[in-house]
Amino acid sequence: MSAHHAFPGQWKPNHASSVALYEQLRLHIIEQADQGKLAPGTRLPAVRNLAEVLSVAPHTVARAYKELEAAGVVATKGRNGTVVCARDERWGALSAAAADYAAAAKSQGATFAEAVHLLAAAYDAE
């Protein structure tokens, strides 16, 4: 059985949850990648196919994929589809963003505690 058929396995989004369906899918893919269940290079199902399997609208899957791509968790390879990125690639992008944030916070005179507080507030607002 290929990874394409293995994902999403038995997992389904919880339609009764207050967490948006795209966010549930986004978090599930991150969790699967972090646990090694979606290895780097694993091709995810096409948007329409996964939407059908999960009984959600295609734009729900598309939004999850778009946000995952922006975070460096997946990459869209044109005709080759959407593939899971290696964790070191993801952390590299996140590390660069953290360095930019730290530099901006320092330049504004923020203490470490203030910078962490602002980051926590922004993280919780998402």
- Tens of pLDDT, residue by residue over 61-114, are 999 999 999 988 999 988 889 999 987 766 767 777 888 888 999 999 999 999
- Burial of 104 (C-beta count, 10 Å sphere; 0-12/13-18/19+): exposed
**C-alpha neighbours within 13 Å on the C-beta side of residue 14:** 7
What is d(CA 1, CA 6) in angstroms, rounded to the nearest whole number? Answer: 7
pLDDT of residue 47: 95
What is d(CA 107, CA 101) in angstroms, rounded to the nearest whole number? Answer: 10
**C-alpha neighbours within 13 Å on the C-beta side of residue 52:** 5
pLDDT of residue 72: 86
Return the minimum-mean-pLDDT range out of 30-34, 52-56, 120-124: 120-124
Residue 68, token pair as written in the block: 């995952």
